[in-house]
Amino acid sequence: MAHTHHDKRFDGKIALVTGGTAGIGRAIAMELLHEGGAVVTTSLPDDVESGHRAFEDAGFDPLIVGGDMSDESFCKQSVQQTIDRHGRIDCLVNNAFSFLAKWTDATRDDWHESLDTGPVAFATMISLVADLMKQGGGGSIVNIASISSWIAQPKRWTYNAAKGAVAQITRCAALDLAPYNIRVNGVSPGWIWTRVTDEAANHDRDKYDRIWGEYAMLGRMGHPIEVARPALFLLSDDASFITGADLSVDGGYIAMGPEGLGKSTIDWSQ
């Protein structure tokens, strides 16, 4: 998955990426940097240092702002620090999210956490940057949704409801911001190798790539770079007539019925 293309679609562009120090967020931030963009990312405080190291290893030094997206004052601070550093914001990627998967055992606090760090934070960030983008003549926003926005999965009411809300925010924001030349789109990743899935697989990627790969037409898990490039497409002028859309980046997961890859039974307990 080496970096092969040499486009500079984001020369002179300023991008703010939430949760940009690990996984999909980091892959998106890296690709934006490779394509000439200036990037600011938010991060949980514990991940700031490892984030800096990863970017430095790649030859970059983006501003990383540490804090919690469920805190409205931190959302405002991340936008203000981007303005202080770069003067404006052209692109927003809402990526940071709480992976809290509970069902009837979810407490009210669990629900608040799921929604506050997810769709409420996404909407807050869109509202904050929209005012700036209006002044700047437009902009582009990508929300990281999920296959979990669209289908039921066992015992995941909190996460799937929160991701479902993201899909609706994408559509509603796209409608209301269209008059200002601000495009809003979503990307719905499927099973992707990130820290969360790596830990769930006990770091045995070969074994679980096959097991979880059975959920997708392509028969494997995806990699963060494979989500980053479609996200960059939607952020870029290549997608100038696309808004309110969601792009499934899931190896065919959503499109596939339960017959799957021709196996008569799938062990859903995995």
pLDDT at 5 over 90: no
- In contact, 237 and 9? CB cutoff 8 Å: yes
**What mean pLDDT is predicted for residues 39-63?**
97
Phi first, then psi: what are they for 66, rounded to 5°? -90, 135
What pLDDT, on a 0 to 100 scale, did the predictor assign at position 196? 87
What pLDDT, on a 0 to 100 scale, did the predictor assign at position 258? 82
DSSP β-bridge partners for residue 63: 40
216 DSSP assignment:
S
pLDDT (tens digit, 9 = 90+) per residue, 87-139?
Answer: 999 999 999 999 999 999 999 999 999 999 999 999 999 999 999 999 999 99
CATH topology of domain 14-192+227-249: Rossmann fold (3.40.50)
Instruction: Give the domain ranges of the chain.
Output: 14-192+227-249
pLDDT at 73 over 80: yes
pLDDT (tens digit, 9 = 90+) per residue, 151-163?
Answer: 999 999 999 999 9
Strands 246-249 and 91-94: unpaired
- DSSP E strands in 44-88: the ranges are 63-66
Tokens at 45, concatenated: 């405080």
- In contact, 97 and 115? CB cutoff 8 Å: no
Catalytic center residues: 159
Could you tell me which residues come within 8 angstroms of residue 185 by beta carbon, excluding any fewer than 6 positions away?
140, 141, 142, 143, 170, 174, 234, 239, 242, 243, 244, 245, 246, 247
Could you tell me which residues come within 8 angstroms of residue 232 by beta carbon, excluding any fewer than 6 positions away?
9, 10, 28, 31, 32, 35
What pLDDT, on a 0 to 100 scale, did the predictor assign at position 37? 98
What pLDDT, on a 0 to 100 scale, did the predictor assign at position 270? 58
- In contact, 58 and 30? CB cutoff 8 Å: yes
Confidence of residue 261 (pLDDT cuts 50, 70, 90): confident
What pLDDT, on a 0 to 100 scale, did the predictor assign at position 259? 78
